Amino acid sequence: MNCGEPNEPSCEDVLAEVWLFLDNECDQQRRAFVQRHLDGCHSCLEHFGIEEHIKALLHRKCGGEHAPAELKERLRASIRQAVLRKADVTVEHGPEGTSVEIRAKRTSAE
């Protein structure tokens, strides 16, 4: 998938989902879409690699102790709120589970 093709989501749209992808929090269809984009876009793949290394480093350095469940849930809620503020999000609940679509909001410089 080449970036900038008509009718294709932008790199910003894909990168908005990188943490969901890394945490296995998106459905199979979105995972496949993000993977195809990463396979075809060097810039996004590079950014994804950095995020992946950060996640691995955090796991390695902070993985010995387990955070309380309440703290984990508060962090997840905070991250979700930050993503929702910066993106146009559609959540659908169906028989196969929950589907989340995230599109980065475009802002114009005035």
pLDDT in tens, the chain (110 residues): 446 566 666 788 788 888 888 888 888 888 888 888 888 888 888 887 888 888 888 777 776 667 788 998 999 989 877 877 777 767 777 888 877 776 665 555 54
At 37 the pLDDT is 85
Question: Are the C-beta atoms of 41 and 1 separated by less than 8 Å?
Answer: yes
Q: What angle do CA 76, 43, 48 make, to 5 degrees?
A: 25
**The predicted structure's pLDDT at residue 2:** 44
Q: What is d(CA 50, CA 44) in angstroms, rounded to the nearest whole number?
A: 10
- 18, 39, 41, 53, 64 from 46: Cα distances, Å: 12, 11, 9, 11, 28
